[in-house]
Amino acid sequence: MKSIDEMRASYYDYIEKQRRGYEITAAMIGYIVQRMQEDSIISGEVTISGRIKSFKSAYENTGKKAVDDCFGLRIIGDRSDLRRIEKELRKILVVDATKDHSKKKDTSYNAIHEMVHMHRKYAESNGIEPQLFPEIEIQYWDEEMRQKCLYGELSYANYKKRDLPAILNRLDMEPENAFRDLPMCYEIQGNNIRLLEPQETLYKLYPEIKELEEKRRVSVVPDTDDEMNR
């Protein structure tokens, strides 16, 4: 049986092999959405972000769910815009599975998730072997879901609250390892995609950490008047 370190190395080797295909797919989706906005087919309020799951998250889900959603995209907008985008994206993507979370009981999370992969002809046109374009989970969120998941009851910080003490401890005791178990997050605007720096990702997922650090900085800044009176 492989050790954790061997499994980690194997996972990130797999990620690196398919990352280029993921980034091309993300850029194509970003471009399509931008063109739809420019043509006034959808509003200008739609946003797209991406993430590649960390090894820790993938490892913890082994046996609970398939680890084929390690590449993800999230599209946030008005419901009518999301329906138009979904229809347009089906021209370049093959939908392998759809999960409507609103059909689940005892949850206020009602987003639509689709598992998709690039149509072979579009994959080949980019000069990359089709098998190197990964399966991607696309999450469609409306504004209500965004508020719940980013700031409310379903926020990542609440969902991953058990991880927060360990992260805070690492920031204090071993800052070089503070970002070890974070996903890779992307900002997507048109066909321009940007991989966020680890600290940006940390603040994006755990905004309370940024707030805590800012409070600490303020508390150590000496009062100017006190300094002058010394």
What the chain holds in terms of domains, given with CATH numbers, is 4-153+179-197 (3.30.460.10)
Backbone φ, ψ for residue 60 (5° rounding) = -65, -25
Lowest mean pLDDT among 10-19, 56-65, 89-98, 167-176: 56-65
**Is the model's pLDDT at 106 over the cut of 80?**
no
- Span 7-30, pLDDT tens digits: 889 999 999 999 999 999 999 999
**Is the model's pLDDT at 65 over the cut of 70?**
no
What pLDDT is recorded for position 220? 59
Tokens 């719940």 locate to 148
With a pLDDT cut of 70, the percent of the chain lying above it is 80
Three-state secondary structure call for residue 80: helix
Asked if 30 contacts 85 with a C-beta cutoff of 8 angstroms, the reply is no
What pLDDT is recorded for position 159? 56
Backbone φ, ψ for residue 170 (5° rounding) = -65, -40
What pLDDT is recorded for position 222? 57
